Amino acid sequence: MQYKILNDGNKIPVLGYGVFEIPDGDCTDCVARAIECGYRHIDTAQIYGNEAGVGRAVKACGVPRDELFLTSKVWVKEFGYEKTLKSIELSLKKLKTDYLDLMLLHRPYFDYLNAWRALEKAQSDGLVKSIGISNFTDKQTAEILDIAKVKPAVNQIELHPYFGRKKLKSYLEEKDIAVEAWYPLGHGNKKLTQNPLFSKLSEKYKKTPSQIILRWHIQSGNIIFPKTRSAAHMAENLDIFSFSLDEEDMRAVDSLDKNKPLFNVPDWWQKLTIKLSR
């Protein structure tokens, strides 16, 4: 495994396991398989509804807590100083841990400035080691930086070869804020994974198209946490550190950038957004 040193000095595995849209009842087995396979970085969120499932797996896995890196995210309805602090305590209870390695503000809505102040408080109290943001634009990140006593360690954003986020990545690199890429494989979008370039590179490097894409992320400096329920795919996704893409091939993947997201807003998000906007 490779690691990145964040701007606060903490170390994060560059490859983790994501649990977006895995129901709580299934999440325990999936995370247990991932940990058994060798993953030590698990990414969840309050809105996923599966923190408890992750917690059960973490408690039962037998791996020392300090060898695991756990991330969660505060949902927007919990923004506000006191509400955010209480929500962090609830997340810790569900995850069956005394601290989180990384806590993020999930999306830039409502009172995220006071939510950020609450993250700083949680960090100073030892409840969270690193703090960051998710889905924030450069302007919204600048708002946080204007009031922050502690700089965000990461910004977690949709990023893949079809949505390279070059402008935002450049801004974050300038501010020494690490980039975490969700949807690293475009959520398995076949237009992406079956692009002829990846078939060509797959043959050249004797790796799968998914491994080529994940390797591109690693060499681009992105922290990633692809999701799969398959033990075989978990192992496959981990096996990306034994080869490197040459510079010409990296540029070829870069050239696929359409600057368009692949995330399709799910029904639950549309309904929740309408409800929250009232």
Question: Which residue numbers are catalytic?
Answer: 48
d(CA 222, CA 215): 10
Q: Hey, what amino acid is at 171?
A: Y
Closest of 179, 170, 162 to residue 222, by C-alpha: 179
Which residues, in sequence order, are bridge partners of residue 224?
A: 15, 181
Decide: helix, strand or coil at residue 23. coil
Decide: helix, strand or coil at residue 24. helix
d(CA 183, CA 172): 19
Q: Give DSSP secondary structure letters for 109-173.
A: -SSHHHHHHHHHHHHHTTSEEEEEEES--HHHHHHHHHH-SS--SEEEEE-BTTB--HHHHHHHH
Residue 68's Cβ-side half-sphere holds a number of Cα atoms within 13 Å equal to 27
Q: How far is CA 170 from the centre of its chain?
A: 18
CB neighbour class for 202 (10 Å; exposed up to 12, middle 13-18, buried from 19): middle
Q: CB neighbours (10 Å) of residue 17? A: 27
